[in-house]
Amino acid sequence: MSREPAAPGSANGTGANPDARRLVELLRDDAIDAAIDAGLMACSDDALRGLDEASRTLVVETRRRLQAAWDARARYRSRQARLARRKPEREARRAAASPPDSGKAGDGSPTAAPAVTPGLPAAAAAALARAKARAGSP
């Protein structure tokens, strides 16, 4: 399930429906890549009519799983690209939000870094306050 065919209808080089019996044979031998090369994804439902139910199910389910895997890979790649685009923007916002600290006090002695606590959303802060209040009361 690692590769996608070049183009639908041309996966076997002829543009015609691939031999469904050959596809079944390849799938039963766990030769998924060879089945893809032989035109698994280009095989129409009409080409599967001559097969028994188990063979037809094997081809249809394999095509469905392959398509789902390829779709998931496309979503993953899209997400990675989106995150890569957003990363510089996020870093720029973080740099702008935190003032530069020289690490020295006015008299030249080093200062301790201030504790940075991220702000909570209002609902989370309210829930935390209620929990602290309950914990403090008997």
DSSP string, the chain: -----SSTT-TTSSSSPP-HHHHHHHHHTT-HHHHHHTTGGG--TGGGTTS-HHHHHHHHHHHHHHHHHHHHHHHHHHHHHHHHHHHHHHHHHHHHHSPP--SB-TTS-B-PPPPP-PPPPHHHHHHHHHHHHHHH--
| pLDDT tens figures, 17-71 | 789 999 999 999 999 999 999 999 998 888 898 899 999 999 999 999 999 999 9
Question: In the chain, what are the domain boundaries?
Answer: 1-96
| pLDDT tens figures, 64-104 | 999 999 999 999 999 999 999 999 998 888 888 776 655 55
